[in-house]
Structure 1
Amino acid sequence: MSFLVIGECVADIVRAPAGSDAADRVHPGGSPANVAYGLGRLGRDVTLLTQLADDTTGRLIEAHLKGAGVRVETGDLPERTPSAVVGLDARGQASYTFDIAWTLKSGPPADLAPGHVHIGSIAAVTAPGAAAVLAGTERLRERATVSYDPNVRPELMGEHGSAVARVERCVTLSDLVKASDEDLAWLYPDEDPRTVAARWLALGPAVVLLTRGAAGSLAVTRHHTVAAEAPPVTVVDTVGAGDSFMATVLDALAGQGRDALGALGAEDLAGLLRRAGAAAAVTVSRNGAQPPDRDELDAALQRFALRSGRGW
C-alpha cells in the first residue's frame, strides 16, 4: 500500500537553554514531513508533496527525507524554506515562533494513486496553498482513505471562528482524525474532549484519536471509547511526538478500508494506542523529531511491557 502526505516542511531551529554553552540545533521538521519520515522509517512506500526552497535548509530537509526512503515531490519553489524557532522549557515541552508561507499552487500529480492520503497542520488550513491541498484530497478520496491532524499553531490560524470552520472542513474529508489535548483546548475552550470527539464523528470520520501527553491517549469510534496509559519514559524533548504517533497509527492500519476502520473493536483500538504510544515515547526520549524504525518500535513495546509488569 502506498501513502501520500501533503504538507509543509519546516526547519526547526532548537534554541539552546538559557545559560548553557550548547549551540542551537537545526532539525528537519514540519508535522506532515515528520509523518512522511515516520512512515518511511517503518518501511512504508510514501510520497511527500511539499514546498522546499533551493537553499541550505531545503537541501538538508530533502536529504533527511530521502534518507528514510521518502519520495519528495515539490509543487513549486518558495523564496526560502520555512523555519520555526523552537524553545524548550524545563520539562522538554516545545513552543514555536514561525517564519512560514504556504503557497502550493497545484495538487498531487495525476499519476499518483495512493491507498491513503494524510493531510494536516499549517498546509491544510493556510491560504493560498490550502485550496490545492483540499482539492487534491477531495479528488483522491474516491479511491483512498484519508487522515488528518490539525496540529494547531495559534499564531498562524487567524480569526478563531474561521479557523475552527477550516479545521472542521478537513475533519469532514477524513476517515481518521488525530488531535492533541492542546489542539482541542484552543479550538474548543472549556469543552470536554470526548464531546468534541463525538461531534467530529458525526461529521464523517470513523475514528478520532486524542493524545494527552503524559496522561496517555484515547480512541473514540461510534461503538467504543478506549483509553491507554502513556509508557514510562524520560523526556528529552517533545518535538515530533504526535507525528510519530500518527505515522505509527497509519502503519498499523495500512490497507484498512472505510468499513474496516468503522468496525475496529475495543481490543484493536487498545493495541493501536499502545503501539503508537510506544513510538511517541521513543521519539520524546531523544532530540528532534526522530521516530523509531520497526525494530526499535518492537523493542520499545517489549521493554515497556516488561517495565510495567501489567502487559502494557
Structure 2
Amino acid sequence: MTGGPGHVLVVGEALIDLVPVEGDGDVRAAQSGGAPANVAVGLARLGTPTSFAGGLGGDGFARTIEERMRTAGVDLALCARSALPTALAVPDPGTEGTGYHFHLRDTATFRLPDLSAQAGRFGAVYVGGLAAVVDPGAGAVRATARAAAEHSLLVVDPNVREDRTLDPERSLAALRELCGLAHVVKASDEDLARLWPGADPEETCAGLAAGGRLVVMTRGARGSTAYTSTAPPVSVAATPVEVVNTIGAGDAFLAGLLNRLGAGGSFTGTPGVQGAHDMLAYASEVAASVCARAGTEPSAPART
C-alpha cells in the first residue's frame, strides 16, 4: 500500500508551460510544469518516495506529463483521470522574475481527488500552487490539507500567482488559510508581501513560526532564512551559479528542503540551528542545479 512515515504525498496541478525558445521569442516550447508536479519530480529524483495526486487529462500533453513523472519515479496511482485537456501556463520571464498567464477553464488539471481519508498514511503532505485557489481543485486541496494538519506533516508553499483569471482577494485568503494550517511554510519574500501587504516579511515569518511552525523564506539570489519558535533565525547564502533559467528553482528548493527533513526515514521534529543551516544549504544547491541549465529537473548535490 502506498504511504509510510518517509513517504510524501504531493497534491496539486501538473500542467504545461509554454516557454520562450532562446534566440526566437516568437516560438514557444511545451515543457511539463506546475509547482506541485515539479516538487514531486524533484523529490523522487532526490530519492524521497513520492506520490502525486493531480488531475491528468486525455491529450498528448497529459501523456508527456505522465512520462516525465513516471521516469522520475513518482507514483501516480492516486491521480484522477478524465478525457478533458491539460491546462496551459504561459510564462513571461523578466529581469524581476517570471510572470504568468493561464489557460485553465474546462481542463482535467483541476479535477483533483479528495484524499482527506488517506492523508494520514503519509509522513508529509505538500499542497500549494494554482490548485489551492482554482476550482474545483481548491476544495479537494483544502479538505486534504485539513486532514494532513491533524495526522501528518503539512507542508505549504503559497506560490502566489497573479493573473486576470484569478480572483486576488479570494486566492490570497485561501493561501493564508493554508499557511495557518501548515507545520512547514516555504515562501518567497514576494509571496509574503502579497499575502500580508504592509507587513515586514521577516516579522510575518517570525509570527508564523511562533505558532510552532518551521518557516523558510527565500529571497532568490540573496539566499534563504529558516525561522522556528525555539531558536534564532538561520540564514544561508544562495549557491553561486551562472543563471540560465529560473523557472522551477523555487520548487527545486522545496524538494531539497523536504528531502533533508525526511532524511532519517520520517518527518518528525524541528531542526536545530546546525540542522537548519545544513537543510538550507542543501536546498540551495538543489535549486542552483535547476538555475544552471534549461528545464526544471533538479539533480542531487555531489555531497551527501
- Same-fold status (TM-score > 0.5): yes
Work out which of the residue numbers 237, 246, 253 in structure 2 matches 1:238: 246
Aligned to 2:227: 220
Cα separation, partners in 2 of 1:257 and 1:44, compared to 1, 3 Å: closer
Aligned to 2:150: 142
CA distance in 2, matches of 1:21, 1:6: 33
Judging by fraction of residues, say which structure has more helix.
1
TM-score, normalised to structure 1, is 0.86
Answer yes or no: is the 8 Å Cα contact 1:172–1:205 preserved in 2: no
Cα separation, partners in 2 of 1:78 and 1:242, compared to 1, 3 Å: farther
Mapping of 1:94-133 within 5 angstroms? 94-101=98-105, 103-104=110-111, 106-108=113-115, 110=117, 113-133=121-141
Answer yes or no: is the 8 Å Cα contact 1:224–1:265 preserved in 2: no
Classify the secondary structure of the residue corresponding to 1:271: helix
Aligned to 2:215: 208
- The size of the alignment, in residue pairs, is 290
Does residue 291 of structure 2 align to residue 284 of structure 1? Answer: yes
Work out which of the residue numbers 5, 10, 23 in structure 1 matches 2:15: 10
Aligned to 1:55: 59
Mapping of 1:125-204 within 5 angstroms? 125-155=133-163, 156-160=165-169, 162-202=170-210, 204=211
Cα separation, partners in 2 of 1:68 and 1:92, compared to 1, 3 Å: farther
Task: Please report the RMSD computed on the Cα atoms of aligned residues, expressed in angstroms.
Answer: 2.3
TM-score, normalised to structure 2, is 0.88
Cα separation, partners in 2 of 1:211 and 1:78, compared to 1, 3 Å: farther
Identity value in percent:
35
Cα separation, partners in 2 of 1:105 and 1:213, compared to 1, 3 Å: closer
In the alignment, structure 1 segments of 5+ residues that lack a partner are: 302-312
Work out which of the residue numbers 85, 107, 118 in structure 2 matches 1:80: 85
Answer yes or no: is the 8 Å Cα contact 1:230–1:277 preserved in 2: yes
User: Residues 200-246 of structure 1: CA distance to partner in whole angstroms, max 9, x if unpaired?
Assistant: 234x4521001101111111111220111111111111010000000
Classify the secondary structure of the residue corresponding to 2:41: helix
Classify the secondary structure of the residue corresponding to 2:173: helix
Classify the secondary structure of the residue corresponding to 1:154: coil
